[in-house]
Amino acid sequence: MPSNTNPTNPTSKAPRAEKQNPTAYDAKSIQLLKGLEAVRKRPGMYIGGTGPEGLHHLIWELIDNSVDEAAAGFANLIEVTLHRDGSVEVADNGRGIPIDKKDGKRTALEVVFTELHAGGKFNSNAYSASGGLHGVGASVVNALASKVVVEVDRDAATHRLSFEHQLPGRYDAKGVFKPGSALEIVRKVPAKRTGTRVRFWPDMDVFDPGLSVEYELVRDHCAQVCFLVPGLKVRLSDKRGSTPREPEEFVAKGGLADLVETLSIGEFVTDVITLHGTGAFEERVPVEGKMTLVQRTCTVDIAMRWVKGYDTVISSFVNTIPTTEGGTHIAGFERAMTKVANDVLLSGTKKLAKLAKSGKDRAEKGDVQEGLVAAVKVTLPEPQFKGQTKQELGTPAVQSIVYEVVRDNFTNWIDGGGKKSNISALRDKVAQAVLTRVTTKATQDAKRKAANLSSAGMPDKLADCRRHGINSELLIVEGDSAAGPAKAGRNSENMAVLPLRGKVVNAGKSTLKQVIENAEAQALFTAVGAGSGADFDLDQSRYGRIIILCDADVDGSHIRCLLLTLFYHYMRPMLEDGRIYAAQPPLYTAKVGDKTVHAFSDAERERITAELTKGNRKAENIGWVRFKGLGEMDVEELAETCLDPGTRILRRITMSDAKEEIEAGKLFETLMGNDVSRRRQYLLDNSDLLDSDLLDV
């Protein structure tokens, strides 16, 4: 224990400076955060952070409160408005927040917006099931807002309470804020009209600089909540900007089935399958200060279908809350799906007979979920979430209930409840997924090992460079005619050349097995040496850049698209890290005196011609030569325009965020889908589109 005496004088008291020691830990070190201080001190605990996610989470809290009213049967309209002054308003025609006195002095309305863990969702009196039991949504919005105005329609009048920096009060006619708890009667309304309107101004001192509410994110959330309450209408208005958007309305009468229809992309393997069931469980909760065993009921609703693609899309919800991180309900769903697929769907499948001998015919989760589009919703009172942001369900008993509902209902569908054509198509799809996974594993391992070999293990057609690493480049060219000049004009120290001699596989609609077996894809994976697909390791790449050298015509664009599709599906980290480039070869070249000029388009050629003929030179004396392909260039021309870092023009092809990836996916679907006529017309109309959005290096 530290001494309280001066070591030079045992009888003296400790000097004042020692009492102010910053390392001291006593009662004065303990802070008590009152009211909403805790939220402002640590906003990330309540809204997930102070970035875009946190800012938009404030809106979700208010929308979710209104959706709870709709789910309980008391509202059918929610209006969300983005105002020009940066505020956001959420209104509903529900019962309206109670306005009577809660503790003798303050109204229930004031308590809801100023006290954490205050609300009507802690028991089943007001809501049988709601978005959560935390009761902090409205108060968190107030805590992180500079101003909030709440209006409630009840008892034939509109009652208003304003908040400025979390304090309740009202604004007088001059706009001066006066603290107080009394509600302001704004106007009379019809006796049967009820509802709540909350308008808040986010406190931008709390959030990261430069943030603003993104319309598309709010739009997606509004559209999504409609699927959770069939018949609910959500109206979204954006009044910002010089030309405000037209209001949008969202409504989905089919619920989760409509959501699956919306999310399903591509050719269908099955119709939408709906599963429904309930289960009961017991849990201990505090009732009047004592832990009491109570009976709970959990309702399970699922809509799902399979499409011919390979991506898995599972949207999950608890009551009216999207659970982006899943939780116990998704664990039960996935476990049951895999169980039924193995025990019922694939039982005795001839396609897997050869694998059965080695015990490798069992489907894994990924096999069953290949091409699955599903929406999973559970409804239960007082769900337990992991964290206030409610992204993951933690109630343990829900897993078993969902498992049993899915197991029984999905088995019934396979045993005769569904269309025979659907069941047969699904059986073939899952069996093929198992077969592909098993038969390609050895091939993948072999290719991965080959990619890590020395240059002796490289493809024969690869003209490798002497130095590898972040400053090296792999040039992909069309055929041997272009490979010759590229090899002669390159810097062999850090530039490798890989010619394409066959057709590049269409990775957008081919199976993994077909991709792995494609000679050109094999050569590319092996040359890069970093694996493929989920196993691709960017740090293992032998080259820092991959540069595509294709002819500047429709065929060149098509080859480039095939390569980009392969990169997108199997070497995506190269795209995400900005390591894929496209060379920009000129269309025309001309010799003017001792100077060579290049033009990359017809318009540029005409512009250069106009500049060169300002004097006495005639246009016909400028001998423009059009390149038909890279193979027609001599070594010097190719080196100057495509190889020399000092003179060449490259275009970086990158996907820096999820939005760009989605847009790229739509583009690849157009280019690589099954509709041949659509793809052909797109290429004819937009042969240079891929270059138009890329960045100069």
Of 119, 111, 73, 112, give the one whose Cα is nearest residue 93: 73
Provide the pLDDT for residue 579: 92
Q: Domain-by-domain residue ranges, the chain?
A: 39-253, 257-440, 452-585+634-696, 588-626
Check the CA dihedral 327-330-331-332 and report its sign: positive
**542 and 529 in contact (C-beta within 8 Å)?**
yes
Provide the pLDDT for residue 415: 93
Provide the pLDDT for residue 666: 52
Of 695, 676, 447, give the one whose Cα is nearest residue 584: 695
Ramachandran angles phi, psi of 9, nearest 5°: -145, 95
Of 225, 224, 250, 226, give the one whose Cα is nearest residue 236: 250
For residue 2, which amino acid is it? P
Q: Compute the distance between CA of residue 362 and CA of residue 382 in angstroms, rounded to an integer.
A: 38
Enumerate residue ranges in the chain where pLDDT < 50: 1-19, 119-128, 130-135, 449-456, 657-659, 661-662, 664-665, 690-697
Q: Compute the distance between CA of residue 101 and CA of residue 111 in angstroms, rounded to an integer.
A: 9
Active site residue 151: no
**66 and 228 in contact (C-beta within 8 Å)?**
no
**434 and 367 in contact (C-beta within 8 Å)?**
yes
Provide the pLDDT for residue 6: 42
CATH number belonging to domain 39-253: 3.30.565.10
High-pLDDT (> 90) share of the chain, %: 47
CA-to-CA dists, residue 643 to 15, 227, 476, 495, 647, angstroms:
75, 54, 12, 9, 8
Q: What is 257-440's CATH number, 3.30.360.10, 3.30.230.10, 1.10.3720.10, 3.40.630.30? A: 3.30.230.10
Counting Cα atoms < 13 Å in the Cβ hemisphere of 650 gives 22
Q: Is 383 left (phi over 0), alpha (psi -120 to 50) or beta?
A: beta
Residue of 18, 37, 311, 555 with catalytic role: 555
pLDDT per residue over 123-170, tens digit each?
A: 444 444 544 433 468 899 999 999 999 999 999 999 999 999 999 999
Residue of 92, 110, 258, 551 with catalytic role: 551
Residue of 367, 382, 478, 520 with catalytic role: 478
CA-to-CA dists, residue 192 to 67, 71, 195, 555, angstroms:
20, 20, 10, 68
Provide the pLDDT for residue 445: 60
Q: Does domain 452-585+634-696 have CATH number 3.30.530.20?
A: no
Averaged pLDDT of the chain: 83
Provide the pLDDT for residue 517: 79
415: DSSP letter: I
Whose structure tokens read 């999973």?
376
Active site residue 361: no
CB crowding 503-531: b at 16 or more within 10 Å, else e: ebbbbbbbbbbebbebebbbbbbbbbbbb
Of 71, 46, 73, give the one whose Cα is nearest residue 57: 46
Q: Compute the distance between CA of residue 336 and CA of residue 220 in angstroms, rounded to an integer.
A: 30
DSSP assignment of 74-136 equals S--EEEEEE-TTS-EEEEE-SS----SBSSSSSBHHHHHHHSTT-SS-SSTTT-SS-S-S---
Active site residue 258: no
**304 and 370 in contact (C-beta within 8 Å)?**
no
Provide the pLDDT for residue 667: 59
Residue 302's SS3 state is strand
Residue of 283, 553, 577, 632 with catalytic role: 553
Active site residue 555: yes
